[in-house]
Amino acid sequence: MNPILSLFLWIILTLTGTLVSFLPRSLEIKLGKALGHFLLWIGGTRKRIAWENISLCMPEISASDRQRLLKENFEHYGILAFELLHMFSPIPGHYLSYVQKIAAVEGLENWQKAHKRGKGVLFVSAHLANWEIMSIIAALKGVPVTIITRQLKPAWLNKKITSLRALAGCGSAYKEQRLSAVLKGLHNQKSIGFVLDQYIAPPAGIYVQFFTAQVHTLGVLGLFSKRAQAPIVPVSQTRDEKGIIHVIFEPAINPEEIPEDSKEFTQALSLRVEGWIRKNPAQWLWVHRRFKNAIWDNPAAVAKTVNS
């Protein structure tokens, strides 16, 4: 990034991070929704991507329901933007305190049971509600979690986010370190977090069904689990009407329950993630280009939607 633009971004994020530090949560929710309405009004490429993804993935709902979902989805982005801005507050300890105020953990005993096997734990999650808060609150509850992520630009932004995670006890490992980070972490009884709703290019990504398309999806979690004998704990997030983000640890999938066919198991995980999204579609990342190189069930519908 251009150094001047990088400095400008730092100034803006620090100023807004300071301002949001003093907002009541109820007002933050209202302002977030208003921001979402503004972003929707602006439109642009991300609005088009979200509309296409919703239309193609959920053809069973009416056009008016899709419009309503699009509106609620952008309200979610507005709220999410305010939540993320707290990460740039210059007030010492603010962000971790904020997370503890607005996040609640359910089913932590499922992780504890899996952790007691002594082989480490694999988390599988998705971009629902606020995934950053999910990893932070887990670490604050005593989960030795490391998330597999990507490096952000500019460098100071990546350092800022990584250091915040570290303050909570959450580690970061990058995609190019995936294999070594996972095996080393599991050997040390860490819990390694993956999201399964991103596009992953081959060979790590394999085609499985997700909504109405075959899409490339990370296909190595079953192999990791069997090799390390580490259970997999699915984790989802949802934000309620009061703004509380519920992080839900589901019962573990143990290595002996995982089929040898990695595609079969990846398909099962993909259907689970789809189920989470269908329960709470307004809080998923519909603006993400999840369906690159997808093989759609109804190509004619794709052409009609894209060209409309």
Per-residue model confidence as pLDDT tens digits over 60-117: 999 999 999 999 999 999 999 999 999 999 999 999 999 999 999 999 999 999 999 9
Confidence band, pLDDT 50/70/90 cuts, at residue 298: confident
Chain centre to alpha carbon of residue 275: 15
When the pLDDT of each residue in the chain is averaged and rounded to a whole number, the result is: 94
* Residue 252 burial by Cβ neighbours in a 10 Å radius (0-12, 13-18, 19+): buried
pLDDT digits (tens, 9 = 90+) for 245-296: 999 999 999 999 999 999 999 999 999 999 999 999 999 999 999 999 999 9
Is the per-residue pLDDT at 158 higher than 70?
Answer: yes
Rounded to whole angstroms, the Cα distance separating 141 from 154 reads 30
Strands (E), the chain: 103-106, 121-125, 145-149, 171-174, 191-195, 205-210, 213-218, 232-239, 245-249, 295-296
Domain ranges of the chain: 3-307
Confidence band, pLDDT 50/70/90 cuts, at residue 3: confident
Residues 154/96, Cβ–Cβ less than 8 Å = no
**pLDDT above 90: percentage of residues in the chain:** 84
pLDDT digits (tens, 9 = 90+) for 134-145: 999 999 999 999
Is the per-residue pLDDT at 35 higher than 90?
Answer: yes
